[in-house]
Amino acid sequence: MIERLQDILSVEGDKMRLAVVACQDEDVLDAVVESSRLGISEPILIGSKRETEEIAERLNLDISEFEFIDETDISAAAEIGVRMVSEGKADFLMKGLVDTAILLKAVLNKDWGLRTDSLLSHVMVYDVETYHKLLYLTDGGMNLNPSLEEKKKIIDNSVTVAKAMGCINVKVAALAAKEKVNPKMQATVDADELKKMSIAGLFGEGVIVEGPLALDLAVSKEAAKTKKIDNEVVGDADILLVPNIEMGNGIGKTITYLANGKSAGIIMGAKAPVVLVSRADDKDTKLYSIALGNMISRYTNNMA
């Protein structure tokens, strides 16, 4: 099992083909070139060739060996990238200088997109020095206030990510503000139902869901001991399932800005992973995210 994000940069295996939509972005292009140099991905650049070449020259990046599709129209570039993945010409997708809404509209196109019967959800992987392994946070980026059934799909998506990273027994903490089920707090009710689904085997082999759990119980055995709560997940959670986007966004930004956590982000639920990072993310985050997408692509291809 991979316990630190740095380790995914040196995992050996086939390079997956990465379609980069609107590649004329400095940080994205820098990370993409580095991923190729490290043997992580085989980039396919889609976007303005003139602008991209100007960036490459300015940053002293060699993109001469990459396949390049010159397309200045952002929506058209998104369609080309999605179609390439849909047709098996690329393995996964990355957002460059394109609005997220435009890219996801292409991903969800009914005729040539990457739509499945699952739900698109965002998974962040965090490497924090104060925690003994990677934390998978979901969903603090896409789904605002998911229903019970949507939360099940969000867990399924995040379990795929964790297993792609070598996690055999996946421990999921369904977070809420308290540990007792309260009919007035929907997060506690849903967490209890998800736990029952887990016991019934609805999440598959090797997946344990516990909840409701407050955040301290999910990540601290000392807190669990103080509160006299004992189960397989407390203090050892892999996945933190948040009840709404506000909690997920808050936890994620706290890890990044107050705990100096390293991170990688991915959108799951489509036919292939989509690397979607913020403009504010640094090069390392973008590089880790590409490597994460590569590992998920390998894993899902092998499972197919």
Nearest to 30 by CA among 303, 295, 284: 284
Nearest to 247 by CA among 156, 124, 128, 131: 124
Running DSSP on this structure, what letter comes out for residue 182? -
* pLDDT tens, residue order, the chain (304 aa): 898 999 999 988 888 999 999 999 999 999 999 999 999 999 999 999 999 999 999 999 999 999 999 999 999 999 999 999 999 999 999 999 999 999 999 999 999 999 999 999 999 999 999 999 999 999 999 999 999 999 999 999 999 999 999 999 999 999 999 999 999 999 999 999 999 999 999 999 999 999 999 999 999 999 999 999 999 999 999 999 999 999 999 999 999 999 999 999 999 999 999 999 887 788 899 999 999 999 999 999 887 6
- Cα separation, 224 vs 148, whole angstroms: 26
The pTM of the full predicted model, rounded to 2 decimals, is 0.96
- Cα separation, 250 vs 258, whole angstroms: 11
Domains along the chain with CATH numbers: 5-115+270-303 (3.40.50.10950), 121-258 (3.40.718.10)
Torsion from C-alpha of 190, 193, 195, 196, nearest 10 degrees: 180
Torsions phi, psi for 45 (to 5 deg): -90, 130
* 279: helix, strand or coil: coil
